[in-house]
Each structure stands twice: as structure tokens, then as C-alpha cells.
Amino acid sequence: MRYHFSWIILLGLLMLSGPLYTTAQTAYLFAYFTGNRIQEEQVRYAVSKDGFHYYALNNNNPVIDSKTISSSGGVRDPHILRGEDGKTFYMVVTDMASSKGWDANRAMVLLKSTDLINWTSSIINIQQKYSGNENLKRVWAPQTIYDAQSGKYMVYWSMKHGDQHDIIYYAYANKDFTDLEGTPKPLFLPKTPAFNIDGDIIRKDGLYYMFRKTGGADGAGIKVATSSSLTSGTWNENDQYLQPTKEEVEGSSVFKLNNSETYIMMYDLFKAHSFQFSRSEDLQNFSVIDNEVKMDFKPRHGSVISITKRELRRLFKKWGKPEDF
């Protein structure tokens, strides 16, 4: 009886360890677009084992047809967030075809998925949905973060009205992630008036870090502000530019390496037609790691999330495994 009982215990432990193993996040998914032509303004995927070497899926062809989800025919700046349940994914994109002009878009797209392959989508036209936006010029680079204080998913993005600076606004998504609730409100107003675009927020050690592109008399680039609360606290600004390059940059996105305290900040060297990765342990000091990064594609503004082996296999089943992966 004692021998039989020990085997029952061992079997139980194996059953418990199975799901934990399969849900461990051991790879990375990079969502991006590639350029300013309409055929390039579409969501593409790449995958990585280590967060440094990325290989495009689907031969670097789109994984979502922009024409089926947008009002402009193009989408840019894809941002994916894994939901609090661990199995639902939320993606937001700029609804924009740059060929129509940099001040031509008024909308974003909200998407939801449980497998990273099949997405439901909703177009949110800010100018049409909310009154008082007659002079709205652009709606750029939306992102999503879970606000534990409100128990809701916050969508934040930059908007420019008339001749004013671009301001980062926010609104909460509804339960189904098909619409925004309430009227958008400013999320961040800098102590010195300046444009702020490409907001990117992550949480570390109880603080929210907001990275964004801004500029003034001292130049332009990526700065960070911190707060203990997304909406009810004060954002403490670091006045230093963080990008470790002299090239002009935009579209920064920060992610944490699996099983590590290292963070990667990547950004678009939009005038140099290049893309760069940098590393930090404290989210304040970054160093370039170009010699450690390899990509078989040329991305523009995007985002990286950690994925499981099961999710990686699912992506391979749909779009094939890259030859060199």
C-alpha cells in the first residue's frame, strides 16, 4: 500500500507540473509593419527564441489584411498585450495610410484574439465618436495596458488638434474590447509644453514607466516619466534623452527578457531607415546591442511579447517555421 501511494503522489505531481510547463513563456513574438507604402502598412509577425534573433513568419508577408480591418486601407504601429487571464490577446493599431498625408487619420483599430491568429476587430473613429474634435488632425500609435486600480484595460494614444502639440490621451476599453468608454482624457501633460507621441508604458517594481518621443530646444528623442498610478498620480519626468544613438528615433517599445531582469528598448531610426535594440537593467540607462541582434526583415514601429512553446507551435502550424529558426 505504501509503494502504491507513493506512485499516486508522483502521478499527481506530474499532472500539476504539465500545465505549468506548457504555459511557461519561452519565446517571443514581434508584431510590426515595414514602410510607408500601402502594401507595407500591414501587420507582420516575427519570432525569436532569445529576444535577440528574429525570423519573419509567412515569408514577411502580412498576417492580417489591413483592408478588412481598417477604414483607411492601412495600419501602422501594432501593439499586442497579453491579457490578465493569460490566454486573451489585445492588439491596437493606427488606422492610417500615410500616402493620404500625415494629418489624414482620425481612427484606431481595436482587435482581440485567443490564438494570435484569428482576430475580431472594431474601428474607433475619434472624430466621429466624440464631439468637439472638428480640428483633430491625427490619432497615432495606440497601446493598451491593464489598469489594476480600475480593473479595466486602458487604451492610450497621441492626438493633435489644430496647431497644438500632440498630447497623449487615454480611455478605457469596454468589456468586449470593441469600443472605448467615456470621453478621452489627457494622460500626460509635460511640465514644459512639447509634443509627445509614441507613448509606451510598462510596470516595474510598483512604478509605471512611460516612454515617449518628445522634443524641444534641447533636441528630440525618447524620454521617460514615472508614476505609482496611471491616472491618479503625478508623472515624475526624467529630462534626459534615453536613446544611445545620435540618429533621429521614434516608435520606442520596451519589453522584459524571459527569466531575466534585463529590459530591451527597441526603436525606429526612421531617417536612417534602420532599427535598433538597446539594453537596460534600470530603465534609465541604455546601451546599444546591435552586434547581438539579427533580423531577416526590416521592421518599423512595433512591439514584442513573450509567448509559450504551444503558442509558437500554433504560429508555425499556420504560417510555417522559418528556415533558419
List the CATH number of the domain containing 157: 2.115.10.20
269 assigned to some structural domain: yes
16 assigned to some structural domain: no
276 assigned to some structural domain: yes
325 assigned to some structural domain: no
2 assigned to some structural domain: no
pLDDT of residue 34: 98
Write out the E strands in 16-106. 25-32, 44-48, 53-56, 75-82, 89-95
Specify the pTM. Answer: 0.92
Q: How confident is the model at residue 31 (pLDDT cuts 50, 70, 90)?
A: very high
pLDDT of residue 23: 80
Q: Has residue 14 got a pLDDT over 90?
A: no
Report the chain's mean pLDDT, rounded to a whole number.
93
Cα–Cα dist 34/214, whole Å: 23
313 assigned to some structural domain: yes
Average pLDDT over residues 259-285: 97
Sheet of 294-295: strand order equals 294-295, 53-56, 44-48, 25-32, 303-308
The total number of structural domains in the chain stands at 1
185 assigned to some structural domain: yes
Cα–Cα dist 68/71, whole Å: 9
pLDDT of residue 62: 98
pLDDT of residue 167: 98
Which cell numbers in the block locate residue 49?
527564441
pLDDT of residue 225: 98
Q: Has residue 22 got a pLDDT over 80?
A: no
Which cell numbers in the block locate residue 24?
511557461
pLDDT of residue 15: 45
Residues 6+ apart with CB under 8 A from 16: none
Domain hosting 202: range is 26-319
Cα–Cα dist 266/79, whole Å: 13
Polymer length of the chain: 325
93 assigned to some structural domain: yes
